Structure 1
Amino acid sequence: MLSSLLTKFLLLSCVNHCALAALNGHCPPLGPVLPAPTQPSKHGAVSAAATTLKGIINKTTAAYNSSAVAIGVKSIHESGFVFSYTYTPPDKDEIGTQAVDLDTVFRIGSVSKLFAPLALLKLGISLDEPITKYVPELRALKSQAREDSPVWAVEWDDVTLGSLASHMSGIPSDLITDMAPLGNLSAYGYPAANSSELLSCSGFFGTPSCNRTAFFANFGKRPPAQVPFSAQTVYSNVAFAILSFAVETIAKQPFADYVGKEIWKRTNMARTFATQPNASLAFIPVDDIWWPADLGFEGPGGGYFSTINDLHRLGDAILKHKLLSPVRTRKWMKPVTSTSSTGVLIGQPWEILRAENVTSDGRMIELYTKRGEIISYYSTFALIPDYDLVITILVAGPGTPGEVTGASMDLMMSQVVKTLLPAVEKAGKTEAKAAYAGIYVDQRTNSTITLFLDDKDDDDNDGPGFSISRYVIRGVDVPTTDPGGTTLPASAPPALDPPMRYRLYPASATTMTRTSGSGLEQGLQQRQQISWRAVGTRSRGADEVAARDAQFAWPMYSCVTWATMDRVTFGFGARDHFVFNLEDGGRAMAVEAVGYKVRMERMSPS
């Protein structure tokens, strides 16, 4: 054991590498540690948090004279909102709505990027396919490059649909934002513009929008930002326009028509538009020049319009697997690459935010987000699968000092998460306690297991998942005899001191329904089952774990649950595998310790 002096030294040196201390030495698997609550808005803690959050945001918007705000937080299991908020500023353009509500239309900027990858997945296309399979004319862009080399020309056959969706293609970021046509910029150090290098379109400042023809006539002149699949992820707006070209090839119709029919109509997103809708539906800042801006061929990358209610319909449809099958949805909602920020991973096209300072147990929570900005308009769309939550924020304003900005919107998002999520977690614990906590017994084999949450007499009550306080199988006390690992057990079990500590976590968010019987009984006898996994640790506590981890160059050295689960089996059943049988309403009736081949009935609900 480390000496107390060395332990103190290592604790002082670990700084930000002591995340397991917050977890009380536990290492839960990534993902939900309890089932998501199905009625969070009815919990007192959530109601109180919503009131607190409203006060926080009221203080922010009190300074806004020209900026509008709309926010929604909703569980996919409820019809109403966990939290909603709208603010209408005193100054607004008279051509737009004079009262902001959850159906008010805003520009959503890069939240538009969600629809191109989603459309391809709905069409059954693998994102590993090369883009040139569907847009072969991209190859001809190399003829516009200064040289045919990786420095000056994109090797389009190396670019996949998925690399475009995850900003890993290395292609140039944009076309329509070129500054050369804006006039004399010598004060900024630029030379006089060469007439042959002027783009005659952009969609901004009254200029015509660029169409697909303009793209193919000019984009090859732009050198690549990186080679495909480089370590340096480079954000690209044009990538999503190119993905829309692929959708048009496959679906044989304009991109907006396909998305409108197969995504927006199917999810009742009646106030979501690919082109500028009637201004009376929208909030428009005073004298705003960005409301009418037409992004042309780049529309799929940032040109669309929507509302809080419509985006929540989209979020519900994604998390409820209404647009893609469950497995395709899960595959889509995964990181693809990392960034220079340890708190941000990139998906297709998700910006996956990782937070460790939100829940009471200090575990990592992933927020699958897409953020958008188009000068006057800012948007955030976020899914939190651990809690089945959808969060949307839409704001608009002049972007002047004292008004809303991209940074202030991000802070607003952070306030929403940090205020509401701990309360939603409490709601989940209350529901899980009623559904699973208690004593499970099989008297025939002298086996019992006790599960609890928030036991005031236990110093481990803030740990993730369920704690197993009593764990006896066939008269054997498992925590004091569990040899751990995958090695063969000794002839006699060890006497472990301290004993193993176990936490139990759901292995899947999906409950299976099985039918048994035949004839008239078929379909009448049902049992719902859900898999959970137990994770054990033999540490003496969080401080010792943190001290050990501080010796290593990377954080959370001890947290290797992903590599230890399902390793020890007996008769093809894993020692850490537990299957609950649920009655209607989701209350557990029994649990099977699969590796030990024991089924225990629930004797007490708490």
Structure 2
Amino acid sequence: MLLDKALIASLLGLTASSTARIIATDEVPLIGPSFLSNFDPSNSSAINHAKSQFPGLIDNLFSTGELNRTDLAFHIDVFSAATNKSIYRYSHVGENSKISLTSGELNDKTISRIGSVTKLFTVYAIIAKAGIEVFAHPVTRYLPELAGNSDSEPLDSIRWEDITVGALANQQAGSGGVADFLTEYVDLDKPLQYSPEDLLKFFRNERKPVISPFRNAVYSDGGFAILGQVLARLLGKTYREAVQEVLFDPLGLESMSTTVPTGSNLNVIDRRSIDKNTSWAGDVEIVASTGSYYSNAADLRAAGLAILNSELLSPATTSQWMKPSSGTGSLVELVGAPWEISRLEIPVTPGSNRTRISDLYTKAGGNVDYTSIFALSPDHVGETFIPAAEYAAAENARRNLAGTFVDEASPDTNLTLSVDRGHPGLGLKSFWIKGNNARDHAHWRLYPTGLNSLSRSLSSLYRTKGTLRVAHRMVEPQPQIKSRAAVEGGKGGLFDNSFVWMNLEFVGPADEFIFNLVDGRLVSVEYPISGSVLKRV
């Protein structure tokens, strides 16, 4: 699967569609989704529009020369946790690549190399086996062979007792690459010449630190080679056996493997007939944990849904794992374990030039002439065309959430919820309690908190049928920011004086609202502090 940054930008809808000035919304909403996600986006007008437009975006990239029409072969799969299946698929096979397809076609069952997307599954397996608390443990707890450099020159050797499993997973250990180890120990044309003990000995005695621990995130293939041995020790097996037991078998990932697929009737992209330098079948077991996997789109989709649906991890652990752990030199790129997190500015409502922040959790990988991109957007209804997903959520909110609600026991207690162009979240257009204006709420906004009556799992947020109670919080409008910080394009100083995230329940629970939904439609709103239940009229 040969991909390109231009192609990824088109897939995510990040290509600029106009030259209009983009302005960050003054509401400074909480990070996370503006609207509920419990609807099927498959047939929303926004998603259908994205589907119809996408082939034209690809054709434009071909015609402008951004992508090579004849040499590239790629498959794209967009899926949603609301339906647990694909929303959209797109394949392209260039004339020069047809010979590499052993089955004669390219589809979601076609196996390719996925490179460093492997790293994501190494961490997934470690957390699934030992819990996320393993991140706090020193790596020498599992690999005592690494210990022994405490008195060495700090510039010449790594003090492994200071390195935690989490430091390695978050790429903050300063453990560097693995190329020099491979150069010294590995020859693909000769029998096995190394062992895990050789790897650990090399990193203890010969590896110089790249940075001091936790100073910066620095990409580290070597660190993930070490993590592979952590997983192996946790199970008392080889890495290949361990990941098969912890991930592949429980999730039914039949086409995901650490070594080249074999057998008859294979459906793979084997580029050996095209490129003598291809990485196909170039497997080195000792670094399988850092970039050696094979997989197809169907298994990557299943794995992505397993993460969103908390199939192997608890909901709390899933949410903790899908968080940034470090920044970078860029304002829009963060690093997780080992997520590569793109911080996007997307319109708060369709057609608006006001934007909010949304984090896209990705992991990219490449093996010489193969490239793979894995991306999850927990802000939305799964992995999808990002602006289209946002528009679909606003479209659903306007249809199923907005409206007027009245307390039948006290008709002069009522509220009106709205979806307002250029503003994130639901607007509290009016709010009266027993005939008294509860406050001037003309610009107050309501945001979902992720809490619901079904479960703590991310997947529960996508439930489209049945009865569901969902918590929202009312956010006080941010006083107008007179001058945004310079880093946001304004003329202000270092800070923009935004305190929205500090204000929730600051003076008590008066900002809590509970939404009662039936088959995705809001039928009543509870205001717990007053005991009011307001029904849709």
> TM bucket by the smaller chain?
0.7 to 0.9
> Where do residues 508-527 of structure 1 align in structure 2 (5 Å cutoff)?
508=450, 510-512=452-454
How many angstroms does 1:358 deviate by? Answer: 5.3
Contact 1:530–1:581, Cα closer than 8 Å, also in 2: yes
- Mapped pair 1:300 → 2:289: yes
SS of 2:52 mapped into structure 1: helix
For the 8 Å contact 2:430–2:442, the answer to whether it is kept is: no
Equivalent residue for 1:22, pick from 21, 24, 46: 24
Are 1:90 and 2:74 an aligned pair?
Answer: no
Q: Tell me the residue number matched to 1:589.
A: 523
Q: Distance in 2 between matches of 1:246 and 1:547?
A: 44
Whether the 8 Å CA contact 1:93–1:284 is kept in 2: the answer is no
Q: Per the alignment, in what secondary structure is the counterpart of residue 311 of structure 1?
A: helix
1:581 and 1:590 in contact (8 A); partners too: yes
Question: For residues 253-272 of structure 1, what are the structure 2 equivalents within 5 Å?
Answer: 253-272=237-256
The answer to whether the 8 A contact 1:131-1:160 is kept is: yes
Contact 1:110 1:370 in 2 (8 A): yes
TM-aligned CA distance change 1:501 to 1:245, over 3 Å: same
Change (3 A) 1:27 1:595: farther
User: Equivalent residue of 2:217, what SS?
Assistant: coil
Q: What residue in structure 1 maps to residue 76 of structure 2?
A: 71
Equivalent runs, 1:571-586 vs 2, <5 Å: 574-583=509-518, 585-586=519-520
What CA distance in whole angstroms lies between the structure 2 residues aligned with 1:563 and 1:239? 37
Contact 1:288 1:376 in 2 (8 A): no
Per-residue Cα deviation, 1:469-504 (whole angstroms, up to 9, x for no partner): 111122221333xxxxxxxxxxxxxxxxxx651111
Residue 477 of structure 1 aligns to which amino acid in structure 2? Answer: N
Q: Is the 8 A contact 1:295 1:302 kept in 2?
A: no
Q: Distance in 1 between matches of 2:467 and 2:72?
A: 53
Which residue of the other structure, out of 103, 118, 131, is the alignment partner of 2:109? 103
Matched, 1:137 2:145: yes
**Alignment-derived partner of residue 493 in structure 1:** none
Number of the residue aligned with 1:518: none
Q: Secondary structure at the match of 2:122?
A: helix
The 1:509/1:260 distance shift into structure 2, 3 A limit, reads: farther
CA distance in 2, matches of 1:92, 1:53: 22
Query: Is 1:476 aligned with 2:436?
Result: yes
Q: In the TM superposition, what is the alpha-carbon distance from 1:440 to its structure 2 partner?
A: 1.1
2:155 aligned to which of 151, 158, 162: 151
Q: Which whole-Å CA distance do the structure 1 matches of 2:391 and 2:101 have between them?
A: 41
Structure 1: distance between partners of 2:88 and 2:405 = 38
Q: 1:532 touches 1:578 (CA, 8 Å); kept in 2?
A: yes
**Match in the other structure for 2:6:** none
1:102·1:308 contact (CA, 8 Å) conserved in 2? yes
Alignment match, 1:461: 421
CA distance in 1, matches of 2:187, 2:472: 54
- The Cα shift of 1:438 comes to 1.0
User: What are the equivalent positions in structure 2 for 1:272-283 lying under 5 Å apart?
Assistant: 272-278=256-262, 280-283=266-269
Q: Secondary structure at the match of 2:86?
A: coil
- The alignment's C-alpha RMSD in Å is 2.7
Normalised by the length of structure 1, the TM-score is: 0.75
Opposite residue 502 of structure 2, the aligned amino acid is: A
Preserved CA contact (<8 Å) 1:34 1:429:
yes
- Report the CA distance shift for 1:423/1:233 in structure 2 as closer, same or farther (over 3 A): closer
Calculate percent identity across the aligned residue pairs. Answer: 28
1:166 alignment partner in structure 2: 170
Q: Which residue of 2 aligns with 1:328?
A: 317
Gaps of 5+ in 1: 1-17, 182-198, 392-419, 454-459, 481-498, 515-525
Highest Rg: 1 or 2?
Answer: 1
Contact 2:484-2:492 at 8 Å conserved across structures: no
Alignment-derived partner of residue 363 in structure 1:
356
Structure 2: how far apart are the matches of 1:538 and 1:111? 40
Instruction: Kindly indicate whether residue 492 of structure 2 is the aligned counterpart of residue 506 of structure 1.
Output: no
1:112 partner SS = helix
* Structure 2 residue 106 is the aligned partner of structure 1 residue 122: no
Aligned in 2, Cα 1:259/1:359: closer, same or farther, shift over 3 Å?
Answer: farther
Q: Tell whether the 8 Å contact from 1:61 to 1:87 is kept in structure 2 after alignment.
A: no
Structure 2 counterpart of 1:369, one-letter code: T
Residue from 202, 223, 235 that aligns with 1:239: 223
2:28–2:478 Cα contact (<8 Å) kept: no
In structure 2, do the counterparts of structure 1 residues 477 and 109 end up closer, same or farther at CA, with 3 Å as the change threshold?
A: same
Change (3 A) 1:547 1:172: closer
Question: Aligned pair 1:602/2:508, yes or no?
Answer: no
SS across alignment from 1:247: helix
Give the secondary-structure state (helix, strand or coil) at the position aligned to 1:327.
Answer: helix
Correspondence for 2:472 among 520, 529, 532: 532
The offset of 1:59, in angstroms, is: 3.6
Residue 437 of structure 1 deviates from its aligned partner by 1.5
Amino acid at match of 1:243: L
Deviations 1:329-377 (A, max 9, x none): 1111111111111111111111111011455441001011111112211
Q: TM-score, normalised by structure 2?
A: 0.84
